């Protein structure tokens, strides 16, 4: 890679970056919606806020492990 000339991104590359960012943003939006209504969800399910936040934390923490495990099985 030494000595290569860096060029400006092409239109396709810009569209790919924009699409990836949009996908990430919409995925994060779903997560933050849940954070904004966390107290209401806890009240609806008659559980404590601590239990609900622990469940969300464990879910997010185990996503990489599940992706690795089931990715290998696929």
d(CA 45, CA 35): 15
Q: Where are the domains of the chain?
A: 29-73
pLDDT at residue 68 in the model = 95
Give the pLDDT confidence score for residue 34 in this predicted structure: 86
Give the SS3 label for residue 45: coil
- Can you give the pTM of this predicted structure? 0.59
pLDDT at 2 over 90: no
What is the per-residue pLDDT across 21-52, written as a single tens digit (0 to 9) for each? 999 998 888 888 888 999 999 999 999 999 99
| Rounded Cα–Cα distance for residues 12 and 19 (Å) | 10
**Residue 51 structure tokens:** 């239990």
Whose CA is closest to 36, among 56, 63, 10? Answer: 56
Predicted pLDDT of residue 61: 93
The token pair at 39 is 């107290």
Residue 1 has pLDDT above 80, yes or no: no
């Amino acid at each position: 890679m030494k000595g290569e000339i860096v060029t400006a991104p092409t239109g396709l590359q810009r569209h790919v970056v924009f699409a990836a960012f949009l996908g990430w943003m919409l995925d994060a939006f779903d997560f933050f919606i849940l954070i904004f209504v966390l107290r209401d969800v806890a009240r609806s399910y008659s559980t404590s806020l601590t239990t609900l936040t622990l469940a969300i934390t464990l879910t997010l923490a185990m996503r990489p492990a599940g992706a690795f495990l089931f990715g290998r099985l696929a």
